[in-house]
Amino acid sequence: MKSLASACKVAIAGLAFTGFVALASAASDGEISNGVVKIGVVTDASGPLSDSNGQGSLIAAKLAAEDFQKQNPDIKVELLFADHQNKPDIGSAIVRKWFDVDGVDAIADVGNSAVGLALQTIIRDKNRIAIYTSVATTALTGKQCVKTGFAWLHDAYTLVAGPLRTLVAQGQDTWFFVAADYEFGKNMVAESQRLLQRVGGKSLGAVYHPMANADYSSFLLQAQSSGAKVVAFSNVGDQLVNSMKQWKEFGMDAGKQRPVAQLLFLTDVHSMGLDVAAGLTSMVGWYWGLNDETRTFGHRFFERHQRMPTAPQAAVYSGVLHFLKAVAATGSDDTDTVAKWMRENAVDDFYARGAKIRADGKLIHPFYLIEVKKRADVKEPWDYYNILRQVPADEAFIPLSESECPLVKASN
């Protein structure tokens, strides 16, 4: 089993970060517990999210620690890494051990919604910090929000709101959903159906497939027979890749129905190939080809991983760096002190400029409605997206007035 046994310490100058970094003069080793800041990257390293997150998330965390070290060469930072295998019990066991035995200060990534909700309880009970990148369930920053739990990338609302509003306005107003049968897929469908009602569209139904699934023929046939104008895929990683490959194999790409990937990662497009993925519409929180800054990070990441970074991997970099900046600024790894600084100070890096953490724990930043390019339009490797529209933060995120987060109510 890869879970606890595979949790490994990683150092930045090699495999465990032992080159240690200089704080501002106000801080000292005595103000950091055991003289070391420990961050655990817990993610899917072997399942459907292993391409979009996985080892690439660890590399992103290493790059953040390296950049932090350049400015703070006296603060000791240590990274730990583990595969939660998309199982809440395994993820919980790993993180409990990290907190209780290994002295971990914060965790990053997670990815899986069911695992994220399980870890949110531990975060609350142990009073530790979590930086979630691609946990999509809205419950994480809704009913289950925690003052030290931060959502750095998307949730189901941000992923569905832009494409749904745009397509319904264009007359694509009947939808059918092919979804993964766990918290992520169910939440995506629920948010989509809620928004469809609001904007005048209609859901013609949904079908749910097991997480470990290879044959999507029966689910696609149900989508086809529904007569819906849009078939929305509320699944992820290799689930989406296989769904779309079979969509093309069955000739559904030549039909009138429009496929929408409600969560699309750059690595999914690469795995599908442009012959399959071209024309897919989705919402993304970040893309390596946005500007010169993002391209610089993309090529730097590529040198380490031989792949361009996904949005979750870029979010790991940003979240880990912001956490480390908070430690340096406060001279402490005390959870409440660090979390307060993180909330009060803007994130300002290539991932997000001047972005603030909202009362419900969401990092608020623009999103992008994209369409996958045709092969003839690709100018360089991994150059897969056309940006159709930048969606401003106040439109991309659920209004605070609709939030179910108890922290929002307490702050009013």
Most confident of 19-23, 117-121, 258-262: 117-121
What is the pLDDT, as a whole number, of residue 21? 30
Greater confidence, 4 or 182? Answer: 182
Whether residue 22 is predicted with pLDDT greater than 80 in this model: the reply is no
Q: Is residue 188 domain-shared with residue 306, that is, in the same domain? A: no
Could you tell me if residue 405 is inside a domain?
no
CA distance 79 to 94: 14
Could you tell me if residue 18 is inside a domain?
yes
Categorize the per-residue pLDDT at 67 as very low, low, confident or very high, splitting at 50, 70 and 90: very high
Whether residue 79 is predicted with pLDDT greater than 90 in this model: the reply is yes
Could you tell me if residue 340 is inside a domain?
yes
pLDDT tens, position by position, 146-158? 999 999 999 989 9
Residue range 222-229: mean pLDDT, rounded: 97
Categorize the per-residue pLDDT at 237 as very low, low, confident or very high, splitting at 50, 70 and 90: confident
Q: Is residue 76 domain-shared with residue 86, that is, in the same domain? A: yes
Q: Is residue 318 domain-shared with residue 380, that is, in the same domain? A: no
What is the pLDDT, as a whole number, of residue 163? 87
pTM reported for the whole predicted model: 0.89
Other Cβ atoms less than 10 A from the Cβ of 392: the count is: 12
List 92's β-bridge partners, or say none: none
Q: How many domains does the chain have?
A: 2
Whether residue 4 is predicted with pLDDT greater than 70 in this model: the reply is no
Q: Is residue 150 domain-shared with residue 165, that is, in the same domain? A: no
Could you tell me if residue 408 is inside a domain?
no
Percent of the chain's residues with pLDDT above 90 = 82
CA distance 112 to 134: 7
Q: Is residue 387 domain-shared with residue 274, that is, in the same domain? A: yes
Q: Is residue 385 domain-shared with residue 240, that is, in the same domain? A: yes
Query: Of 293, 283, 282, which Cα lies nearest the Cα of 318?
Result: 293
Q: Coil, helix or strand for 301?
A: helix
Q: Is residue 228 domain-shared with residue 374, that is, in the same domain? A: yes
Other Cβ atoms less than 10 A from the Cβ of 169: the count is: 12
Which range (14-18, 198-202, 349-353, 376-380) has the least confidence?
14-18
Q: Is residue 208 domain-shared with residue 253, that is, in the same domain? A: yes
List 80's β-bridge partners, or say none: 9, 40
Could you tell me if residue 407 is inside a domain?
no
CA distance 132 to 129: 10
Q: Is residue 126 domain-shared with residue 255, that is, in the same domain? A: no
Categorize the per-residue pLDDT at 412 as very low, low, confident or very high, splitting at 50, 70 and 90: low
At 46, which CATH number? 3.40.50.2300
Strands 202-209, 347-348: parallel, antiparallel or unpaired by DSSP? unpaired
Could you tell me if residue 241 is inside a domain?
yes
Q: Is residue 252 domain-shared with residue 385, that is, in the same domain? A: yes
Is the distance from CB of 135 to CB of 113 less than 8 angstroms? yes
Whether residue 14 is predicted with pLDDT greater than 80 in this model: the reply is no
What is the pLDDT, as a whole number, of residue 183? 87
Q: Is residue 305 domain-shared with residue 374, that is, in the same domain? A: no
Q: What's the whole-number average pLDDT of the chain?
A: 90
Q: Per-residue DSSP letters for 92-108?
A: HHHHHHHHHTS---EEE
pLDDT tens, position by position, 256-292? 999 999 999 999 999 999 999 998 989 999 999 999 9
Query: Of 155, 345, 181, 191, which Cα lies nearest the Cα of 144?
Result: 155
Q: Is residue 249 domain-shared with residue 323, that is, in the same domain? A: no
Structure tokens at 50: 């292993």
What is the pLDDT, as a whole number, of residue 405? 95
Could you tell me if residue 410 is inside a domain?
no
What is the pLDDT, as a whole number, of residue 212? 80
pLDDT tens, position by position, 212-221? 888 999 999 9
Could you tell me if residue 406 is inside a domain?
no
Q: What domain range is 387 assigned to? A: 157-286+366-400
Whether residue 38 is predicted with pLDDT greater than 60 in this model: the reply is yes
